[in-house]
Amino acid sequence: MPFTAQFLHSSLQGMEESTPQQRERHQTGSIYEASGKFYVRYRATKIIDGVPKRVQQSEPLCDKDVKHYSADCKALKMLRDRFMLKINARQTGDQSTTVTAFWDGIYLPFAKKNLRGSTLHGYEQIWSQHLKSHFGETKLPDYTTGMASRFLTKLAEKYSRRTLNHIRSAASAISYPRAQPRVCSR
């Protein structure tokens, strides 16, 4: 069966749909008082042993005083809202992380712990031979399905369908939900 644009489109759709994941929720934060201070409680995703986990976090907002006298006071809620804007902005993705930095710092350690040796070897070979130069300094949130489609279409001129499937599979694995939210946008 010859390689076609329709095959490529269906492959890329499968790449996105095959890994369902929870979306990051907009958080308002919970205010509580302890030891004469007010804190905000929220949830964050942390990489623990190469696997993202949701953990509860608390950060101090301010000391209890005349202006900040209750968890329900307007001034304290405004402090909380300002703080949570930063937290919710972070959840949309680190705007400065490149795909290459993600591969080196997060995905590769994850893969070494969780993949079979032969799979890891294949991914490392495909990364160094094809993907590293393709991604270059592209930032995670900037990489789109269209970029992947153009890249694979260009490779289709030189490589067989099976080789293209291996390259697509490796690129898709980088965005596997246990390691990182999906790289390709819809």
Predicted confidence at residue 145, as pLDDT, reads 81
pLDDT at 180 over 70: no
Residue with tokens 């201070």: 37
pTM summary value: 0.48
The rounded distance, in Å, linking the Cα atoms of 76 and 67 is 8
- Share the mean pLDDT of the chain: 77
Q: Kindly state the tokens that stand for 67.
A: 């202006």
58 pLDDT band, cuts 50/70/90, is very high
Give residue-wise pLDDT tens across range 89-126: 665 545 567 888 888 877 888 788 778 899 889 999 99
Average pLDDT, stretch 67-88?
86
Average pLDDT, stretch 119-134?
92
